Amino acid sequence: MIRQIKYIFNQHLALSIAVIITLAVYSKFLFFGHISWDDPDMVFKNKAVQTFDLKSLFTDHYVGNYIPVTMFFHAIAWFLFGNNDWGHHLVNILFHVINGILVYQAGKRIFKNETASTFASVVFLLHPLQVESVGWISELKNILSTTFYLLALISYLNYSQSGRVKYYIFCFLFFILGCFSKSSVVVFPLVLIVLDLFLKNKFEPKQLLNKIPLLIISIIVGLINMKTQTADLFINYSHAFPYPQRIGFAGFALVKYMLLFLVPAKLSVIYPYPAVKTTVFITGYILITATLILLFLFAKKKNYNWIFIILFVILNLALVLQFVPFGEVLYADRYMYIPMIGFGWIIGILLSRIKIPSKFITLAFILIFSLLTFSRSGVWSSAISLYEDIIRKYPDQFIALNSAGVESMFINNDEKALEYLNRAIKAAPQNYKGYYNRGLLYIKNNKPELAIKSFNQTLDLYEYSKAYVGRASAYYMLNDFPKAINDATHVLSSEPNNIKAHFILGNCYNDMNKLNEAMAEYNKCIELNPDEAEYYFKRAIVYGKKQDFQSCLNDLNLCLKLNSNYIEAYYWRGVAKVNQRLNPCEDFKIAAQNNFQPAVNAFNKYCR
């Protein structure tokens, strides 16, 4: 075994070193947490993942994506590692390394050029543009889909060279798994058409026949994901520019991708959408024109290898060039994950043609890329450091400012949170989310009047149900029960299962001593989410008011089973025990030791 490892290491020195350094560089992420963008919805607050609910994983869509295979792997990771962030990061890292090895295998099969295949693998593994895909737990969809993409590509090469049907079946199956890991894999059949042109050095119409089943799958998956993107409001009509402008923007994005590859400086998770300027469109059209001229010249000279590589890059970027507008950005580091392979092939082929020993150049690139990637990965140490990195580079970026405000609020740095949210509102006064999050901050800081003002500003811009719930909470804090009930009821008229609205109604009715109505609302909350301790606590209080102390005691037991740190519940369980003529002292003692004054008084009264 050791002899085999030594043989592999000696035969593939640069690749072996790249793999080892990749593992070393990305091991930093094993000490990082997850971020608040997508990770909670995809994994850490996703009950389908945590309970391994296969039906939901394969029928629901998540954050605008129908990706059942990726969600299945998230569920496996949760089963193995639970909510330990390091385990989920480890999954991404290992699949990234596997992909690097597959890139080498695919390149070797296609070009039969050791330097090109090795260099492409090195670039793929260690280029700092890849940090976003590897470090962001939610981007498992990007990494996993690439694994299946490359396995399908290698299977097709086996089929093309041997003609054996089993390899075509493998290609078809891996392609389906890729599509249901991330929908961007739907471009794969088009890549195969270009690959055939390169392998055969000519175009034959019969070569299209074996692509038809793949194209059918592509169309189906594309339609499904267009529907989910629309349903989850990821189609961004503010970027639905006229098509001549979209073409210019697409060309400009390609320019930026080339520059980011060549000079990976000032990298960011978000790059602001460029202004609608003539220079942007001229740049874009120049790049598109130059690319078309290059393709024509290469076709004329029958340099099909360069045609294949150029089209490989373009096809794998085509879906993210905003011809169909979605999201907030024109270009992003994570969109380069597969196209990076093509850029690596270009440099690798050029390196193989110079007289300097390619191994030394490759090792030099390994060193440079590893240092850049190690440095870049540091900003992912926490969500707040990531958002602040964006803000340092783009001070008026609303999404980053808003997210930094929310994250600062979450870590109880409320003064900084208010600063970020005010800056977010100033940067984008027509975006309702800044006002909404500021309203939540005011509620947290017991400033209901200011919260109501912020929620009103939200609702002036957008009929946002969460703002009604927030305003209802603020009215409840002011004991303005009619207005709180009115807002909560308004939300429930369109969202009958809005648990927060039901909870506010329950609290209002409880304080108004409308106990039956309060009980009905708390029952509904528990029906919708039986794992929330506070719902049982509140219902226990209603039972206590109704003199049903046994039911009160039962609910307090359930509350403390779900949250053993719910100090107030210990006190009220002691009260219930007093009324049941049971010994309350242990409960009063626990609450008193946590400085809950009513429990101190009760302990002195009943237990001294």
Specify which residues 235 forms β-bridges with: 326
512: helix, strand or coil: coil
Tokens for 382? 């926490």
Are 322 and 246 within 8 A, CB to CB? yes
Instruction: Please give the C-alpha separations between residue 561 and each of 534, 545, 556, in angstroms, as whole numbers.
Output: 11, 22, 8
274: helix, strand or coil: coil
Model pLDDT, residue 199: 82
Tokens for 395? 């001070």
CA pair distance 127, 122, nearest whole angstrom: 8
CA pair distance 144, 92, nearest whole angstrom: 8
Terminal-residue alpha carbon distance, the chain: 72
Residue carrying structure tokens 């390899």: 167
- Closest by CA position to 320, among listed 311, 312, 330, 310: 330
The CB density around residue 491, as the number of other CB atoms within 10 Å, is 22
Tokens for 58? 């394969």
Domain boundaries, the chain: 2-380, 530-608
Model pLDDT, residue 1: 42
Tokens for 29? 């992420």
Q: Which residues of the chain have pLDDT under 70?
A: 1-11, 229-241, 323-328, 355-358
Alpha-carbon dihedral 271, 275, 281, 284, rounded to 10 degrees: -10
Q: Looking at the domain 530-608, which fold is it?
A: 1.25.40
Model pLDDT, residue 61: 81
**Integer Rg of the chain from CA:** 29
Hey, what long-range contacts does 444-448 have (CB within 8 A, 24 or more apart)? 444/409, 444/414, 445/414, 446/477, 448/474, 448/475, 448/477, 448/478
Model pLDDT, residue 100: 94
Task: Report CA torsion sign: 139, 344, 328, 247.
Answer: negative
Are 506 and 527 within 8 A, CB to CB? no
CA pair distance 481, 409, nearest whole angstrom: 27
Q: Which residues of 360-369 are buried (b: 16+ CB within 10 A; e: fewer)?
A: ebbbebbeeb
What φ, ψ does residue 36 adopt, rounded to 5°?
Answer: -85, -5
**Mean pLDDT over the full length of the chain:** 89
Single pTM value for the model: 0.87
Tokens for 468? 């009604």
Model pLDDT, residue 157: 93
